[in-house]
Amino acid sequence: MSADKETILTIEHVTKRFPVADKCMLTACDNVSLSLYEGETLGVVGESGCGKSTLVKLIMQLHTTTSGAICYRGEDLTRLTGERMRQSRRHIQMVFQDPSQAFNPKMKIKDILCEPLRNFNLIKDREAGKKAEELLRMVELPEEFVDRYPGNMSGGQRQRVGIARALALEPEILVCDEATSALDVSVQKKIIELLVRIQREKNLSMIFICHDLALVSQISHRIAVMYLGNIVEVLAGDVLSEAKHPYTKALLQAVFPVEKKEGTVVRPLEGEIPSPLDLPPGCPFQSRCPESMERCEREKPVIEELWPGHSAACHLLKL
Amino acid sequence: MLLEVSDLSVSYGEREIVRNVNVSLDEGEVLAIVGESGSGKTTVIRAILGCLPNEGRVSGGKILFEGKNLLGNIPAEWCRLCGTKATMVFQDSGSILDPIDRIGSQFIEYIREHSSLTKKEAAKAAEDMLRKMHLSNPENIMKSYPFELSGGMRQRVGVAMAMFFKPRLLLADEPTSALDVTTQAQVVKEMMEICQQDKTAIIIVTHNIGVAAYMSDKLIVMQAGEIVESGRTDEIIARPQSIYTKELLDAVPQVGGKSYVS
């Protein structure tokens, strides 16, 4: 499906290590490779601490990579410096998790929305009000909101402002880090509908970080599953329930369905996610994997394509 | 009837936040209250345990627990009730724990406050309870400070403390909302297991409809401080009557549900 589409962002063998106390290294992202196609939503799921947010910060150039390359339209972002790096930020914009903390509470909505444009000298002061109204219309908020402060708005409204601000520069890639996790389900649904509509209109590419598997499966063209800094499985969004990797299967079994269907059992994954500090050699999932074998302790599985559009990193799948 | 709440109204200052709430619960029954933020779910269960925040007060109705009206309680009576017969699990158990005291010493203090066990007996009983919650290595946990445990482990410590005296009623306020799906499934299963052993009735407040559907026998849907629908969980989910409930159920994402993008 995605083969005929143009690749807009490629993440190639990106590794990020953080130094921690006692000269240890914490590996937050380990040899991650992913690509994002034009007009596509790529969902990234995993438990907390699996490196989702670090990956986002690497893409946004908020952290520098330890090794590897992040190429936007063929240009390696990790090598840019100074003004060229600043200019590159126009193409990739972000929506944050908590809309109550993402804004300066003392700025009016109109200034919040036009700040990115002012940073790049794309707007004159007298045009600001009009531009802000236009952005508010796009996210289905009343134009009168230009003179409000973020404090006088509900969570859902604030998240719409967050989306409008991220889209002010007309980026090609929108990164949403848990953008709907702080919202109620009905508000979440409206925000998702808005994002999907805007994506269609502008042919926007999105990276959608989320821990809600059900939501991700409904809005993503492709899903990448992360575990302890590694991508363990990449598959199309509509076939998530046919996942092959034991970790993805375990995640799916831990979801409580609203309607109890015959034969659905909720089976929690035993144990906790191990510390990323001193990882054993071999498969990162070995300690919790119900089907772990001797080979998994020795050798780390590499992510390989099972068939077009579906890859996984697991020794079991190669038997 | 273990608990009977009739026509409960709660006000914060002059504003009435919760109106005409009726809840009834038998021994060992599980009731889930769902609704959006600000619908008054938490206010209802806080009112039952007499722990409304400063401004809040019950402005009408009755709360009968084992046939006794709790609203007439004097402070000493609340002390005898809370923590033993009726207990609560909070969204973030980390915040009910003292950050600069070890888990063990807090657990022992809690046990000794409500019973005449010696320190040694209490420590052993606490470890047994942690083991019952499937926490590996309880000795280590007793020696840990709260920040040394993960969110899921702290939450299980919270449930272990709340279930220690085999309460008749457990109130759980979003007990798994801050957890990952895998940890959530563990905590929910363990909570259910212990409550079924002890025949504890549960009122769980949650915005996760999946968890509510899995755990509860009865369901209450709240909106803007009022009950819009209540009844048997499976019936409401299969045949929701009010428009609001339908919208709410419709908005819940589901694996294998309709895709927005294809």
Q: Do A246 and A260 contact (CB within 8 A), yes or no?
A: no
B69 pLDDT exceeds 80? yes
Residue B224 sits at the chain A interface (C-beta within 8 Å): no
Q: What is the mean pLDDT of residues A212-231?
A: 93
Q: How distant is the Cα of B177 from the closest Cα of chain A, in angstroms?
A: 10
To test the contact with chain A by mutation, choose from B137, B217, B261, B262 the residue with the greatest count of A C-beta atoms within 10 A, namely B261
Q: Do B2 and B201 contact (CB within 8 A), yes or no?
A: yes
B218 pLDDT exceeds 50? yes
Rg (CA), chain A: 21
pLDDT tens digits, A15-44: 999 988 778 888 899 999 999 999 999 999
Which one-letter DSSP state was computed for residue A77? G
Tell which residue, B151, B152, B129, has the closest CA to residue B142.
B129
Cβ-based contacts under 8 A for chains A and B: 126
A 10 A CB-CB count for B4 gives 16
Q: Do A67 and A14 contact (CB within 8 A), yes or no?
A: yes
pLDDT at B180: 85
Tell which residue, B167, B4, B188, has the closest CA to residue B88.
B167
One-character DSSP codes across B208-221 = -HHHHHHH-SEEEE
Residue A159 CA to residue A296 CA, distance in Å, equals 43
Inter-residue long-range contacts of A280-289, CB under 8 Å, 24+ positions, other chains counted: A283/A313, A283/A314, A283/A315, A284/A30, A284/A227, A284/A228, A284/A229, A284/A230, A284/A232, A285/A227, A285/A228, A285/A232, A285/A246, A285/A247, A288/A247, A288/A250, A289/A246, A289/A247
Q: What is the mean pLDDT of residues A74-89?
A: 91
pLDDT at A1: 47
A 10 A CB-CB count for A87 gives 11
Domain extent for A284:
7-318
Within-domain flag for A228: yes
Residues of A in contact with B262 (CB under 8 A): 221, 237-238
pLDDT tens digits, A250-262: 999 888 888 766 5
Residue A190 CA to residue A203 CA, distance in Å, equals 19
- CA distances from residue A145 to A73, A130, A159, B217 in whole angstroms, order as listed: 36, 12, 13, 44
pLDDT at B205: 94
* Count of CA atoms in the C-beta half-sphere (13 A) of A166: 29
Sequence-ordered strand ranges (E) for B141-251: 169-173, 201-205, 218-223, 226-232
Residue A53 CA to residue A63 CA, distance in Å, equals 11
pLDDT tens digits, B98-120: 999 999 999 999 999 999 999 99
Q: Do β-strands A75-76 and A67-72 pair in parallel, antiparallel, or remain unpaired?
A: antiparallel
pLDDT at B94: 86
CATH number at B3-251: 3.40.50.300
pLDDT tens digits, A292-301: 889 998 899 9
A264 pLDDT exceeds 80? no
- What pTM did the predictor assign? 0.87
A11 pLDDT exceeds 60? yes
pLDDT at A312: 94
Which one-letter DSSP state was computed for residue B245? H
Q: What is the mean pLDDT of residues B221-243?
A: 94
Structural domains counted in chain A: 1
Residues of A in contact with B243 (CB under 8 A): none
User: CB distance A238–B37 less than 8 Å?
Assistant: no
User: CB distance A251–B182 less than 8 Å?
Assistant: yes
Higher pLDDT, B169 or A267: B169
Q: What is the mean pLDDT of residues B29-57?
A: 90
Chain A interface with B: residues with Cβ < 8 Å: 41, 47-48, 155, 184-189, 192-193, 196, 199, 211-215, 217-221, 237-238, 240-241, 250-260, 266-270, 272
Question: Which member of A184, A238, A259 has the closest CB to residue B259?
Answer: A238
pLDDT tens digits, A278-293: 777 889 998 888 888 8
Residues of B in contact with A252 (CB under 8 A): 255
Q: Which residues pair with B3 in a beta bridge?
A: B25, B65
Provide the pLDDT confidence category of residue A8 given band limits of 50, 70 and 90.
very high
Residue A169 sits in a domain whose CATH number is 3.40.50.300
Provide the pLDDT confidence category of residue A4 given band limits of 50, 70 and 90.
low
Within-domain flag for A1: no
pLDDT tens digits, A170-211: 999 999 998 988 888 888 999 999 999 999 999 999 999 998
Pull the structure tokens for residue B112.
């000794």
User: CB distance A196–B261 less than 8 Å?
Assistant: yes
Sheet holding B169-173, edge to edge: B86-89, B169-173, B201-205, B30-35, B218-223, B226-232
Within-domain flag for A143: yes
Mean pLDDT across chain B: 92
Pull the structure tokens for residue A283.
């498969």
Inter-residue long-range contacts of B95-101, CB under 8 Å, 24+ positions, other chains counted: B96/B158, B97/B146, B97/B154, B97/B157, B97/B158, B98/B146, B99/B145, B99/B146, B99/B147, B100/B145, B101/B145
User: CB distance A266–B189 less than 8 Å?
Assistant: yes
Burial class (CB in 10 A: 0-12, 13-18, 19+), A84: exposed
Residues of A in contact with B189 (CB under 8 A): 266, 268
Q: Which residues contact B120 (CB under 8 A, 6 or more apart)?
A: none
Mean pLDDT across chain A: 90
Sequence-ordered strand ranges (E) for chain B: 3-12, 15-25, 30-35, 56-65, 68-69, 86-89, 169-173, 201-205, 218-223, 226-232
Within chain A, residue ranges assigned H as helices are 52-59, 82-88, 109-119, 128-138, 155-167, 185-202, 213-219, 246-253, 294-298
